[in-house]
Amino acid sequence: MSGLLALLDDVAAIAKVAATSVDDVAAAAGKAGAKTAGVIIDDAAVTPKYLQGFAPARELPIIWRITRGSLFNKLILLMPVAMLLANFAPWAITPLLMLGGSYLCFEGAEKIFHVLFPHASHEIAQDMTIKDPGHLEEAKIKGAIKTDFILSAEIMTIALAAIEAPNVWIQAATLAVVAIGVTLAVYGSVALIVKMDDVGLFLANRAPTPVGRGLGRGLVKFMPVLMWLLSVVGTAAMLWVGGSIIIHGLEVLGFGWLGHHIHDLAYAAGHAVPAAWTGFTEWSAKATMDGVFGVAWGLVLIPVATKVIGPVVGRFNAKG
């Protein structure tokens, strides 16, 4: 009996340690997840564009496939690399973050460039005439997962930098919780967004009251506006997040001139308004200047990506 009681006491002690670890993981995951808010907004805003043009019946299956791809990106590809870098080559994290930030700046600036100067290359026009819907769906899913990979890399790296864990196991568990939680939150939100027009159509046709039918018609009419707003927000978030990552990276590497000037200008703007608006104004000014830098850096990268990197990658893929 004494042996059994001793065993139960040991089990209780292990359970207490495990419970403490779970609490540590949850707290660290919450803190790290909050740090990635900017990229999460970007991810949620960008993804719905990949579903435009598909039948409603294909929307949720496509979202599910992108979700699986995102989890694979985070848990299988990025998490082991992030853990290795954090513990054996922390000096490489900042350059990699800046590389991802440059991609976000390029994507955002390219969208603005295409709006201001609409054009299409022969390859794009040829791709848009694809007759096989299955091929088009595969291409869209691959494009979404590719973009998700960049955003996921940013999320995982930012989260890793924010995690204060006593050991590598808590660090890994926290990173996994952030990866799963962020992915489900982003793509769950995307699923709700893209199905709202179907909900509106259902209400417009079958709601038992005029108010319900009116609400349904309003939802149907509002969804194109919402999709446009999400596109604008997604582009702005890309440029803001990408620009801020580059500027912060330059500061870490010892080139803090630009970051210090942006901080000083934002501080001056924040203290030029009533105290109640100081924090918001300072944040808005800094985000705007980060975004403007993101546009400028992205415009510089457009010819580099389209005239140099793109053709090289195209030849490599053709040979493969």
What's the pLDDT at 95? 87
Determine contact, residues 288/232, Cβ cutoff 8 Å: no
Condensed to tens digits (0 to 9), the pLDDT of residues 122-157 reads 444 444 444 455 666 777 778 778 777 877 887 787
Low-confidence ranges of the chain (pLDDT < 50): 1-5, 7-38, 121-131
Which among 37, 38, 34, 32 is positioned nearest to 291, based on CA atoms? 38
The pLDDT score that the predictor gives to residue 128 is: 44
**By the 8 A CB rule, do 63 and 137 touch?**
no
Against a cut of 0.85, is the pTM above it? no
Distance between CA atoms of residues 168 and 188, nearest Å: 30
Residue count of the chain, please give it: 320
- What is the spatial distance between Cα 151 and Cα 155, in angstroms, rounded to a whole number? 6
pLDDT at 22: 41
CB of 151 closer than 8 Å to CB of 39: yes
Cα separation, 287 vs 295, whole angstroms? 12
Report the alpha-carbon angle 65-75-28, nearest 5.
Answer: 120
pLDDT at 258 (0 to 100):
93
pLDDT of residue 318: 55
Report the alpha-carbon distance of residue 52 to residue 47 in Å, rounded.
10
